[in-house]
Amino acid sequence: MLFLQMGWGDLGVYGEPSRETPNLDRMAAEGTLFPNFYSANPLCSPSRAALLTGRLPIRNGFYTTNAHARNAYTPQEIVGGIPDSEQLLPELLKEAGYVTKIVGKWHLGHRPQFHPLKHGFDEWFGSPNCHFGPYDNKARPNIPVYRDWEMVGRYYEEFPINLKTGEANLTQIYLQEALDFIKRQARRRPFFLYWAVDATHAPVYASKPFLGTSRRGRYGDAVREMDDSIGKMLQLLQDLRVADSTFVFFTSDNGAALISAPEQGGSNSPFLCGKQTTFEGGMREPALAWWPGHITPGQVSHQLGSIMDLFTTSLALAGLTPPSDRAIDGLNLLPALLQGRVMDRPVFYYRGDTLMAATLGQHKAHFWTWTNSWENFRQGMDFCPGQNVSGVTTHTLEDHTKLPLIFHLGRDPGERFPLSFASTEYQEALSRITQVVHQHQEALVPGQPQLNVCNWAVMNWAPPGCEKLGKCLTPPESIPKKCLWSH
Amino acid sequence: MLFLQMGWGDLGVYGEPSRETPNLDRMAAEGTLFPNFYSANPLCSPSRAALLTGRLPIRNGFYTTNAHARNAYTPQEIVGGIPDSEQLLPELLKEAGYVTKIVGKWHLGHRPQFHPLKHGFDEWFGSPNCHFGPYDNKARPNIPVYRDWEMVGRYYEEFPINLKTGEANLTQIYLQEALDFIKRQARRRPFFLYWAVDATHAPVYASKPFLGTSRRGRYGDAVREMDDSIGKMLQLLQDLRVADSTFVFFTSDNGAALISAPEQGGSNSPFLCGKQTTFEGGMREPALAWWPGHITPGQVSHQLGSIMDLFTTSLALAGLTPPSDRAIDGLNLLPALLQGRVMDRPVFYYRGDTLMAATLGQHKAHFWTWTNSWENFRQGMDFCPGQNVSGVTTHTLEDHTKLPLIFHLGRDPGERFPLSFASTEYQEALSRITQVVHQHQEALVPGQPQLNVCNWAVMNWAPPGCEKLGKCLTPPESIPKKCLWSH
């Protein structure tokens, strides 16, 4: 499973004009492309928690109640993480005899009880948080890189990232980890690889052979390196003759971060706004399934898909059924992939504790609209650069619950033309969506919110293994406080 | 040569989310796709005049001097048309033994001296103007449809278009004309077919089997019918075993008309604004070249291309050289297509008499910016719905000639982030572009403007052949006046 941070419009096959993803484009040509596939959240951590639990962040606890409709994630001062009560995909796959590995960013909490090897992964090479930095190791430590249980260094130290030149070998290191794992496991036991590298996230980096090679600048260099890496993994599966017994899925955790554009941000192509928002640009994702000999090459599936479906689909591939003691939001995509079926299902767009929008069929209803605050916007933070749809891309949190804004995403993928409230189409769409939303909300049992409390003392001061490396730092006094989430 | 009115983002292979162009996508997979291909004007008539002459509208006369930077075309009250002094592609190809046919919209003037059969075409089935209407045949006649020299009926009369249901068989009729011509000529003499049907232009129509079949509404129905027609033409070439001796090129005359969106307008995907403007959305076009056995399948060419190149390329294919007694703006694309070469060349973006912008390499400089007037905009005419780039999508004609706005189209295809005037990149790009623009402007000899004078008496009252059909109408008094072009 390949899980990256790229926008819907960043792949050649999704229309990026520089067309610099030949390997992903070939993966699409040999597999199935989903044009209507969604993340579970417009932000990284909640999306990843949803992917691995098959459950919306509102259920698995990856949200905040500190304020209404606020995006929250797992910076290193976060106290929470993935609860033990959640059953993660690797935990379940292990029961079916799978060897499981995560390469790259975990992002479900960095304190010891949240360690990926405590939640079903056999192996880990990567880091618990994003590669933000460099820090001075006094007010804030640099993010550690782990091999399995113990740290092996820190970003900007043993794992250098040159922010000025943009050079870093991280993606190559992560690629090698993946190739080694595949080589080692391919002919032994069934395996589950979650390749969640952190490149293309700002600050953007690439290794020397890719730096300066893109027509799109540094972000394009990083995309080219991702694409090249994926090509090498698929090629290895073919060389090892296990391609026909290996299901590969590529998608992304949220829309391209347009606040980092143009130097460090990607493309959501025709869609409105980007990361942090519940417009299509924030949550519609590129998605490719590849399974030679099983999936007919070159298909397009208009199935509404979700990253949570990867949970249920992976279980189905392993001959397992999802847990029956809890609500699971993921759908098994195999009927869509193997029989071309399209199943009716809603897509819910949450921001923190708030259901902002829902899509059913081709109609999307917005119950709330918000980009970011006027204050943030006036400071230059723009989630929708160059875009402005009156009454839609609002800078105050607007309540439309009594009269939702409805768009037809086929005729109007850019969410520019709300349907007339008086139209029959509006009335019919509203009635269908309202019914599904009521069902959802009536049955909903929100999880204990994990992203409310922050504490500087819990940061990555002294991760396991730091003693051996002489890299333990002294934490400050423990002062729990409410995390501040500004959008 | 297939010449339609579709936006860059309307094809699946260019990222349209509904992905309803399997035949065009296959044409791309079997041929070469140009992501950086341009019309010669953001409007229909001038673009078509440029295509057939290989010359910018400012040279061939398809512009107006009635006001600064105004788009003009050939409504039926226009007095002008293609001057006899221009040498058209079919005229030149005839010299090399080609049989030439135009199917569809001519748009280079409808008065007798401008008739396509007087300008090199052997055959014509189609109409001189757009299918606007229906008219009452009193204040304004319905547009005639010609077979060769004579009219055979009028739109909305013998060639019905039901604006309410959207049903019309025109594309099927135009398809049959093309198939018949190909069948007749394929094994006899070399042929040149210019398939310039008018569907996808508003008011949008499709034939019954396609109506209501698209995920994108009526516009999508029309696109699906276009795509299906192109599939049938390519299949016929293969069935006749002449595919490897037939060069096929697909492109469009201007960007999608976003004023007709979402019901009747297409998609320019990541690009700014649409038809009528000199932003990328107004002039960047889908472009596919197909020539089995010659063009390597599945290639992408980053050659900056222009529809005027089809003039020069077609001559080269016929073993001819372009006229040497005049400036020709078209480039021979065969080195790009057959040897993968990328040639340095500028793209000029004119609006009427004014050079609004120029692209060289990946840098585009805007010397003037304008969408439309505040007056038009306040009346609801929006060329950039949902888009607003401060200081760029201006509603007054802004003069940047002293300090052009420069964008890097690779990093910023949406023209949202002008380069800093102080940057080295800006200075270098400006210096290179300025040099090329000076050369262009110094050598430029503008043609006699053809789109200045209008006269209701010249409309399609009594086209040749009307007597036989009893369809002659009486023209009003001849009163020449300045045409009014509002944007």
- Residue A113 confidence (pLDDT) above 80: yes
Q: How many beta-carbon contacts under 8 Å exist across A and B?
A: 118
Does the pLDDT value for residue B114 go beyond 90?
yes
Give the start-end residues of each E strand in A296-353: 299-300, 305-306, 346-351
CA distance B174 to chain A (A): 26
| B29, closest residue in chain A (CA to CA) | A29
Contact B102, B196 (CB under 8 A): yes
SS3 content of chain B, % helix, strand, coil (to 5): 30, 15, 55
Q: Pick the catalytic residue: A107, A110, A115, A131?
A: A107
* A326 CB-side CA count, 13 A: 18
Q: Does the pLDDT value for residue A20 go beyond 80?
A: yes
Q: What is the residue-wise DSSP string for B43-88?
A: SHHHHHHHHHHSS-HHHHT-S--SSTT------TTB-----TTSPP
Would you state the structure tokens that stand for residue A22, as one six-digit string? 């030949």
**Cβ-based contacts of B361 with chain A (< 8 Å):** none
Check whether B328 has a pLDDT greater than 90. yes
> Using CA atoms, how far apart are residues A54 and A89, in angstroms rounded to an integer?
8
Contact A416 B12 (CB under 8 A): no
Residue B168 has pLDDT above 90, yes or no: yes
Q: Each residue of B355-397: pLDDT tens digit?
A: 999 999 999 999 999 999 999 999 999 999 999 999 999 999 9
Do residue A416 and residue B220 have CB atoms under 8 angstroms apart? Answer: no
Q: What is the DSSP string of B394-437?
A: -SS-EE-TTS-EEEETTT-TT--SPPPTTSHHHHHHHHHHHHHH
Is B270 in Cβ contact with A15 (below 8 Å)? yes
pLDDT of res. A1: 77
Which class for B248: exposed (0-12), middle (13-18), buried (19 or more C-beta within 10 A)? buried
Q: Is A273 annotated as a binding residue?
A: no
**A387 → chain B, closest CA residue:** B387
> Chain B: nearest CA to A441, how far in angstroms?
29
Contact residues for B29 (Cβ-Cβ < 8 A; gap 6+)? A29, B13, B297, B298
**Would you list the DSSP string of A451-469?**
SSEE-GGGSSSS-TTHHHH
How many Å is the Cα radius of gyration of chain A? 21
Would you say B346 and B360 are in contact if contact means Cβ atoms under 8 Å apart?
Answer: yes
Q: Do B414 and A386 touch (CB under 8 A)?
A: yes
Q: Which of A162, A121, A175, A78 has the alpha carbon at shortest distance from A456?
A: A78
Burial tier of A95 (Cβ tally within 10 Å: 0-12, 13-18, 19+) = exposed
Stretch B82-88: mean pLDDT, rounded?
98
Interchain contact, B387 vs A385, CB within 8 Å: no
Residue type, B224: R
Q: What is the pLDDT of residue B7?
A: 95
pLDDT at A198: 87
Among B13, B15, B35, select the one facing A9 at the smallest CB separation. Answer: B15
- CB distance B220–A35 less than 8 Å? no
Q: Taking Cα atoms as reference points, which of B85, B106, B112 lies closest to residue B448?
A: B85
SS3 content of chain A, % helix, strand, coil (to 5): 30, 15, 55
Q: Indicate if the pLDDT at residue A5 is higher than 90.
A: no
Facing residue for A416 by CB, picked from B35, B219, B386: B386
Mean pLDDT of A442-470: 98
Per the DSSP assignment, residues forming a β-bridge with B153 are B145
CB within 8 Å: B18 and A35: yes
Band of pLDDT at residue A293, cut at 50, 70 and 90: very high
* Per-position b or e across A448-478, b if 16+ CB within 10 A of its CB: ebbbbbbbbebbbbbbebbeebebebeeeee
CB contact under 8 A, B215 and A410: yes
B interface test, pick of A16, A37, A223, A412 with most B CB neighbours within 10 Å = A412
Please name the helix (run of DSSP H) or strand (run of DSSP E) that holds residue B146, with its range, or none: strand B144-147
Q: Which two tokens stand for residue A459?
A: 């940061």
- Could you tell me if the ipTM is greater than 0.90? yes
CB contact under 8 A, A411 and B263: yes
Q: B-side interface with A, Cβ within 8 Å?
A: 9, 12-19, 29, 33, 35-36, 214-217, 219-220, 261-263, 267, 269-270, 272, 300, 302, 362, 385-389, 408-417
Statement: residue A397 has pLDDT above 90: yes
Residues A235-267: tens digit of each pLDDT:
999 999 999 999 999 999 999 999 988 989 999
- Residue B1 banded pLDDT, cuts 50, 70, 90: confident
User: Which of helix, strand or coil describes residue A284?
Assistant: strand
Query: pLDDT value at position B332?
Result: 98
At residue B443, φ and ψ (nearest 5 deg) are -90, -10
| pLDDT grade for B260, boundaries at 50, 70 and 90 | confident
pLDDT band at B3 (very low <50, low <70, confident <90, very high): confident
Is there a contact between B311 and B52 (Cβ–Cβ < 8 Å)? yes
Q: Do B254 and B263 touch, CB atoms closer than 8 A?
A: no
Integer Cα distance of A168 and B286 in angstroms:
36
- Residue A4 is predicted with a pLDDT of 78
Instruction: Give the closest residue to A43 by CA, choosing from A398, A399, A356, A457.
Output: A356
What is the average pLDDT value for chain B, to the nearest integer? 97
* Predicted TM-score (pTM) of this structure: 0.97
Q: How many CB atoms lie within 10 A of CB B319?
A: 7
- The closest CB to that of A215, out of B216, B270, B410, belongs to B410
pLDDT of A3 over the 90 cut: no
Yes or no: say if B311 and B51 are a contact pair by the CB < 8 Å rule: yes
CA B83-B88-B91 angle, to 5 degrees, is 115
Q: How many other C-beta atoms can be found within 10 angstroms of the C-beta atom of residue B417?
A: 17
pLDDT at B2 > cutoff 90: no
CA B369/CA A322 separation, integer angstroms: 57
Q: Which of A37, A269, A408 to mutate to test the interface with B (most CBs of B within 10 A)?
A: A269
Residue among B394, B395, A379 nearest B405 (CA)? B394
- Convert the pLDDT of each residue in B13-43 to its tens digit: 999 999 999 999 999 999 999 999 999 999 9
Cβ-Cβ contacts under 8 Å, B412 against chain A: 261-262
- Residues from chain A that touch B29, judged by Cβ atoms under 8 A, are 29
Shortest Cα distance, chain B CAs vs residue A353, angstroms? 28
Q: How far apart are CA A306 and CA A37, in angstroms?
A: 5
pLDDT tens column, A163-210: 999 999 999 999 999 999 999 999 889 999 999 998 889 999 999 999
- Which of A15, A262, A300 shows the shortest C-beta gap to B411? A262
Q: In DSSP terms, which residues pair with B105 in a beta bridge? A: B127
For A203-321, where are the alpha helices, taking DSSP H only?
218-239, 280-283, 309-317
Q: Is A438 a catalytic residue?
A: no
Closest partner residue to A412 (CB to CB) among B29, B262, B417 is B262
* Interchain pair A18, B410: CB under 8 A: yes
| CA pair distance B311, B465, nearest whole angstrom | 31
Tell me the mean pLDDT in the region B279-288. Answer: 98
Which among B483, B442, B414 is positioned nearest to B355, based on CA atoms? B442
Domains observed in chain B: 2-345 (3.40.720.10), 354-443 (3.30.1120.10)
* Amino acid at position A42, single letter: P
pLDDT at position A187 is 83
Known active-site residue A44: yes
Chain A residues in contact with B408 by the CB 8 A cut-off are: 217, 262
The rounded percent of chain B whose pLDDT value lies above 70 is 100
- Residue B445 CA, chain-centre distance (Å), reads 23
